[in-house]
Structure 1
Amino acid sequence: MKLFLVTRVVPFIMQLIVRFIYLTNKKVFHHPEVNPKEPFIVAFWHGELLMQPFNYQRLKPKGKVSAMISEHKDGEAITKTVEYLGIDSIRGSSTRGGAKALIGAIKELKAGDDIAITPDGPRGPRHSVADGIVAISQKTNARILVFNCRPTRYWQFNSWDKFIIPKPFGKLEFFIQEPLDISSYTVEEAKELIKEKMLINAMK
């Protein structure tokens, strides 16, 4: 019964709430022009992930994206929720199932589809960048798209990622930066550049 609640009931209710919040907010999109057929690595902070499916769908209405989600049991509810919002999943992270997730991500990109990563997930530190995003980008030559979402009205949790839930009837500003090519950078240089770009429009 508990498993059914976690994997079915809770995610269904969560995605209804997320859709309601999105629909009742004014939306402003700051998007670059991209080739819809080019596969990208989508990067956003863990604390800002809630509205990012809509950011992606506005950029690539016919695109397919798979999010890398932790194999920890807490990731199950998130997996099912994002599936309702049109996002597939690759299970695994830097702490659990990392090698499997890395292979899965590379496979998706080589098939021409996008992947989504929270570089500071699943457990932080907040606004840090793990090696995984760099490894995937440099092994596939896929460029990185940095996503941010800034609500004018929101709740913010006192969690490690300062998770943000926008409130209804405000405004959502969605940002996507120009594609980032890190093929010529060292791992540390790439991580620093990615972090710098991701913090430009980040929530505090």
Structure 2
Amino acid sequence: MKKYFKTNILPYILYFLVKFIYFTNKKVFHHSKISSDESFIFVAWHGDLLAQPTNYFKFRPNGTVKAMISHNKDGEIIAKIYALLGTGLIRGSSSKGAAKALISTIKEIKAGSDVALTPDGPRGPRFSVAPGVVAIAQKSNAKIIVLNSKPSKYWQFSSWDKFILPKPFGKIDFYLSQPFSIEGLELEEAKELIKDKMMAHSMP
């Protein structure tokens, strides 16, 4: 019964909670002007996951984006919430189903979809950049765009990712960076560049 609740009922409760939270907050979008219709890799920290469908669909109201979500218990809940929010799914992570997920992600980019990744997911450590995002970007030749959000009022969980849940009736600043390329960079150089870009508007 507990498992049924977590996988079949809880995601719907959280979905309506998320919709309520973002409806009641003033939203301010700090988006770079990007005219290109090419496919991008959107990256966000694991603790900032819930805000990013709102952020992405403001940028591309009719866009198609597929998010890589892990197969663990938390991943199942996030996957269902993301699906309800209009985001497609790629199942897998850097620790489970990695090769299959990497190939699927590159295929989605080549087919014209945007993809969304959490470089420090699914297990951290927080604010780390796994090699997978570098491999996907370099093999697909896709540019990377960073997504961040900063709520004025929020709850912060004690989980490894310090998960952020905005409180209702505040203000949320959404950030979307200019696209950047990591073509030709060595692995550590690429990881450092991605982290530097992602930390620019990160929550503490």
Aligned-pair CA distance for 1:78: 1.0
One-letter code aligned to 1:14: L
TM-score normalised per structure 1: 0.97
Is the CA contact (8 Å cut-off) linking 1:141 and 1:183 kept in structure 2?
A: yes
One-letter code aligned to 2:133: I
Is the CA contact (8 Å cut-off) linking 1:72 and 1:96 kept in structure 2?
A: no
Where does residue 189 of structure 1 map in the other structure? 189
- Gaps in structure 2 of 5+ consecutive residues: none
1:168-187 to 2 correspondences below 5 Å: 168-187=168-187
Separation of aligned partners in 2, 1:161 and 1:74:
12
Q: Give 3-state SS (helix, strand or coil) of 1:183's partner.
A: coil
Separation of aligned partners in 2, 1:124 and 1:163:
12
Where does residue 79 of structure 2 map in the other structure? 79
1:141-180 to 2 correspondences below 5 Å: 141-180=141-180
Separation of aligned partners in 2, 1:73 and 1:200:
30
One-letter code aligned to 2:162: K
Q: Percent identity?
A: 57
Separation of aligned partners in 1, 2:15 and 2:187:
36
Where does residue 140 of structure 1 map in the other structure? 140
CA deviation map 1:93-141 (0-9, x unaligned): 0111111110110010000101100000001000000000100000011
Does 1:32 find its partner at 2:32?
yes
- Gaps in structure 1 of 5+ consecutive residues: none
One-letter code aligned to 2:108: E
One-letter code aligned to 2:190: A
One-letter code aligned to 2:156: Q
TM-score normalised per structure 2: 0.97
1:1-204 to 2 correspondences below 5 Å: 1-35=1-35, 37-204=37-204
One-letter code aligned to 1:162: K
Q: Give 3-state SS (helix, strand or coil) of 2:20's partner.
A: helix
Q: Which moved more, 1:130-139 or 1:26-35?
A: 26-35
Separation of aligned partners in 2, 1:146 and 1:26:
21
Aligned-pair CA distance for 1:187: 1.1
Separation of aligned partners in 1, 2:56 and 2:16:
18
Separation of aligned partners in 2, 1:114 and 1:78:
18
Is the CA contact (8 Å cut-off) linking 1:37 and 1:112 kept in structure 2?
A: no
Aligned-pair CA distance for 1:74: 2.8
Aligned-pair CA distance for 1:184: 2.1
CA deviation map 1:143-171 (0-9, x unaligned): 00000000000000111100000000000
Separation of aligned partners in 2, 1:19 and 1:27:
13
Question: What's the RMSD between the two structures over aligned residues?
Answer: 1.1
Is the CA contact (8 Å cut-off) linking 1:152 and 1:172 kept in structure 2?
A: yes
Is the CA contact (8 Å cut-off) linking 1:36 and 1:63 kept in structure 2?
A: no
Aligned-pair CA distance for 1:199: 0.3
Is the CA contact (8 Å cut-off) linking 1:43 and 1:146 kept in structure 2?
A: yes
Q: Give 3-state SS (helix, strand or coil) of 2:23's partner.
A: helix
Separation of aligned partners in 1, 2:35 and 2:7:
35
Separation of aligned partners in 2, 1:162 and 1:3:
24
Equivalent residue pairs, number: 204
